[in-house]
Structures are given as structure tokens and as C-alpha cells.
């Protein structure tokens, strides 16, 4: 919708001067640049948040600018920028026995996978780059591109750790896509549409109209979705593939500098995407909890970012609280606990809806 809106606005303004095709390209370019800017700013914020939150959980203070020199800014605010600059300045080493085309392709693929799922996330009432009719299904499908890029990264590095990390990571993400998809089916069953904005509009009216309160089975579906989403983004307690103490850096062992940065930028971007989908599907999206209070289109962005931010905070909190799962425990939990639970949820919600006709 944003693309349509900008296109109509510019057409009304500059109709005769510039051809319609170039106006279309400009009206696609501006939101994509805005999304890229948002991803960058968000990455800086979430890296800082992770440093601070993890430090407080571990009873430390994290990056602090102290003493005379502001080497990390006041309260350590310049730390993420320093990190980004450091990664830009690192030497880009491609091992001599690595498979060069695939080595270079992998960061492209994973970033593009994360970036194009951003363009279907609704930030506000009509603030969504493309209002695809298959919105939530598209996000789920595009999230599966990351699997391939991890395998290729592991393979191309020609390193046992990378290969194991990549394969395990792929097996994990691929397994957890099923409970995540099945839990989103619950949302779609209740909302009756795949369109992200329509799912959110279904939840209009205060907090008790949100899908999570619709049905006693839906909170279980929300928990299953959220945990599967954490597993899909390779966060602790599911981060065996990239675990720092076990496999060096897993599939990204041989990557340095900006290529490494793109893998972890994509991980943070994926965190945002899955949290945004959970917030939009289960927690009411850009609606405010009290109808009428702070409930205009501009406040919509505020609520959406807050709900997503809260879920990201929970992810960071879980990371620094729980120990890591072993790979066989991981797979057991997915196929033997979450998959039956997700199927029971679907049956439960379906029977409840049919019986109570709500």
C-alpha cells in the first residue's frame, strides 16, 4: 500500500514531467530505502539492547562510557557503531581452498531472504510496503531461503566445523518450520484471510478482541509459534549450530569482516520478522489495547514496534537465561512435542469454533 500511495501521490504531482515507469520505480525505491534504513537503525539498537540486557542479567553493567575518554559514548551508546565500523575495516579473507562463488553467494542470499520478508510486514494502518494478498504465507516461504544459504555457507568454507554447523542449522530450521507454520494456521483459521492487514483488522476493538484471547487453544499456539520462531532464527537455547564454545562460529567460521556482519545482521532481521508476525497475528498488530486510546494511524506504528520490541526483549532474555539444548534434544522436542501439540491445537481451535460458532 505504501508503494501505491507514493505512486499516486507522485503521479498527481509530476504527471507530465516524468514517465509513469520511472515514477513506479521511484515509488518502489523510496520504501525499500526506508526499510533498509530501518533495518540498519534497528540492528544498532538491538545490538546495544542485547549488550545491556545481557549485562544486567549477568549482574554486570555492559558498555559504559566512563572516565575522561568517551571511547564508547555516554552509556556506551557508540558501541554498536564502533562494532559496525570495526567489521567494515576487517580484512576480507577467503580461504584458498574455499569454493569462491558459493562463499560469496551465501551472505547475499541470506540477507535478501531477510530483506524481502521485511517488505510484507505491516507497521501501521496503511504503512506496509506491499500489501500482498498471501502476506503471511509469503513471509513463511521466504524464510525458508535462509536454510539454503546456511548450507551453502557451511559447504563453501571447506571446513569441518562450518559444514557440521551448516547442516545442523539447516536440519534445525527446517524441522521447526513445521510447528511454526501449523501455529500460524490457527491464526488464519480465525481471521479467515492470509492478508496481513486483514488479519490485524480482524482484531479491532480492545485487547480482548486479539486473536490470542479468542480461544483457550490459541495461547498454546502462540507459545509453540514463538518457540519455533526462536529455533528458526538460531537463537539460544537453539543455537548449537553457531554456538561459540562448540563449533567456533559454526557455519560462519571462515567468514570475516562485512560478510560475517551480514550473517548476523540477517539473524537480527529475522528476529524482528518473526516477532512482527507474532505481534501481528496473535497480539493485535497496530491496534492499541484500549480502543480509542492512542489509536490513530500514527500511534499504530508505536504499538506495532512496541509489541515487536517486547517479543524481541523476551528472546534476548531467554538467550541469557536458558542453557543450550543438545541437537538430539532439539529434534526430539520439535518432532515429538511441538508437532503433535500444533496438530492438537488445530483440531482444538477447529472444534471449538464449530461448536461455539464464534
Partner 1 sequence: MYRDFGTVFFAVIMGIVMVSIPLIISWLIAPSNKTKDKLDTYECGEEAEGSAWLQFNIRFYIIALIFLIFDVEVVFLFPWAVVFKEMGLIALIEMGIFLLILCAGLAYVWVKSDLEWVRRRIKYGGGRYKPLSASSED
Partner 2 sequence: MADLVFWIIAAVTIMSAAFVVLNNQLIYSAVALLFTLFGVAGLYVFLWADFIAGIQILVYVGGILVLVIFGIMLTNKIKSVRISHKSMQQGVGGVVTFWFFIFLFIALTKAPWAFSDAVEPVGTVREIGVLLLTDFLLPFEIISLLLLGALIGAAVLSRGES
User: Where on the chain is the footprint of partner 2 (CB under 8 A)?
Assistant: 21, 24, 99, 101-102, 105, 132-134, 137-138, 140-142, 144-145, 147-148, 151-152, 155, 158, 163, 167, 170, 174, 177, 194-195
As measured in angstroms, the least distance from the Cβ of 115 to partner 1 is 4
Residue 21's binding partner, choosing from partner 1, partner 2, none, with beta-carbon cut-off 5 to 8 A by kind? partner 2
140 near 229, Cβ under 8 Å? no
Residue 208's binding partner, choosing from partner 2, partner 1, none, with beta-carbon cut-off 5 to 8 A by kind? none
Interatomic CA distance for residues 192 and 170, integer angstroms: 32
Residue 152's binding partner, choosing from partner 2, partner 1, none, with beta-carbon cut-off 5 to 8 A by kind? partner 2
If the CB atoms of residues 78 and 247 are measured against partner 2, the closer one turns out to be: 247
Is 5 a binding residue for partner 1 by CB under 8 A? The answer is: no
If residue 159 lies in a helix (H) or strand (E), which one and from where to where?
Answer: none
* From 181, 241, 281, 285, residue interacting with partner 1 (rule: CB under 8 A): 181
For residue 244, CA distances in Å to 48, 50, 152, 250, 324 come to 19, 16, 20, 8, 11
Query: Binders of partner 1 among 186-225, rule CB under 8 A?
Result: 188-190, 192-194
Residue 99's binding partner, choosing from partner 1, partner 2, none, with beta-carbon cut-off 5 to 8 A by kind? partner 2
Query: Binders of partner 1 among 318-337, rule CB under 8 A?
Result: 327-328, 331-332, 335-336
Interatomic CA distance for residues 93 and 103, integer angstroms: 11
Q: Which residues contact 170 (CB under 8 A, 6 or more apart)?
A: 147, 148, 150, 151
- Which parts of 3-128 are beta strand (E)? none
If the CB atoms of residues 141 and 216 are measured against partner 2, the closer one turns out to be: 141
88 near 100, Cβ under 8 Å? no
Residue 34's binding partner, choosing from partner 2, partner 1, none, with beta-carbon cut-off 5 to 8 A by kind? none
As measured in angstroms, the least distance from the Cβ of 295 to partner 1 is 26
Cα of first residue to Cα of last residue in the chain, in angstroms, is 31
Nearest in space to 223 (alpha carbons), one of 337, 93, 83, 301: 337
- Which parts of the chain are beta strand (E)? none
Query: Binders of partner 1 among 97-126, rule CB under 8 A?
Result: 97-98, 107-108, 111-112, 115-116, 119
291 near 206, Cβ under 8 Å? yes
If the CB atoms of residues 210 and 303 are measured against partner 1, the closer one turns out to be: 210
Amino acid at each position: 500500500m505504501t508503494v501505491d500511495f507514493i505512486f499516486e501521490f507522485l503521479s498527481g504531482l509530476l504527471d507530465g514531467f516524468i514517465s509513469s515507469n520511472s515514477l513506479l520505480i521511484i515509488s518502489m525505491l523510496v520504501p525499500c530505502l526506508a526499510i533498509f534504513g530501518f533495518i540498519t537503525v534497528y540492528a544498532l539498537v538491538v545490538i546495544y539492547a542485547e549488550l545491556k540486557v545481557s549485562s544486567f542479567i549477568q549482574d554486570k553493567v555492559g558498555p559504559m562510557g566512563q572516565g575522561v575518554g568517551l571511547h564508547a559514548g555516554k552509556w556506551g551508546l557508540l558501541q554498536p557503531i564502533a562494532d559496525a565500523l570495526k567489521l567494515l575495516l576487517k580484512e576480507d579473507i577467503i580461504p584458498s581452498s574455499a569454493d569462491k562463488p558459493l562463499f560469496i553467494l551465501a551472505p547475499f542470499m541470506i540477507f535478501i531472504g531477510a530483506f524481502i520478508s521485511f517488505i510484507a510486514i505491516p507497521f501501521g494502518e496503511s504503512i506496509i510496503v506491499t500489501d500482498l494478498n498471501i502476506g503471511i504465507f509469503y513471509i513463511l516461504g521466504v524464510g525458508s531461503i535462509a536454510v539454503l544459504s546456511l548450507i551453502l555457507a557451511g559447504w563453501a568454507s571447506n571446513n569441518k566445523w562450518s559444514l557440521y554447523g551448516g547442516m545442523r542449522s539447516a536440519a534445525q530450521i527446517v524441522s521447526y518450520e513445521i510447528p511454526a507454520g501449523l501455529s500460524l494456521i490457527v491464526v488464519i483459521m480465525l481471521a479467515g484471510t492470509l492478508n496481513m492487514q486483514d488479519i490485524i483488522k480482524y482484531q479491532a476493538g480492545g485487547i480482548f478482541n486479539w486473536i490470542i484471547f479468542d480461544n483457550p487453544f490459541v495461547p498454546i499456539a502462540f507459545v509453540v509459534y514463538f518457540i519455533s520462531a526462536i529455533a528458526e532464527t538460531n537463537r539460544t537455547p537453539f543455537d548449537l549450530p553457531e554456538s561459540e564454545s562448540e563449533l567456533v562460529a559454526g557455519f560462519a567460521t571462515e567468514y570475516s569482516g562485512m560478510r560475517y556482519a551480514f550473517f548476523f545482521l540477517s539473524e537480527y532481521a529475522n528476529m524482528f520478522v518473526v516477532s512482527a508476525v507474532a505481534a501481528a497475528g496473535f497480539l493485535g498488530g497496530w491496534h492499541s489495547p484500549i480502543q480509542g486510546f492512542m489509536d490513530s494511524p500514527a500511534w499504530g506504528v508505536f504499538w506495532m514496534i512496541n509489541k515487536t520490541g517486547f517479543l524481541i526483549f523476551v528472546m534476548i532474555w531467554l538467550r541469557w537465561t536458558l542453557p543450550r539444548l543438545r541437537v538430539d534434544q532439539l529434534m526430539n522436542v520439535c518432532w515429538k512435542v511441538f508437532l503433535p501439540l500444533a496438530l492438537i491445537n488445530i483440531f482444538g481451535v477447529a472444534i471449538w469454533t464449530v461448536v461455539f460458532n464464534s
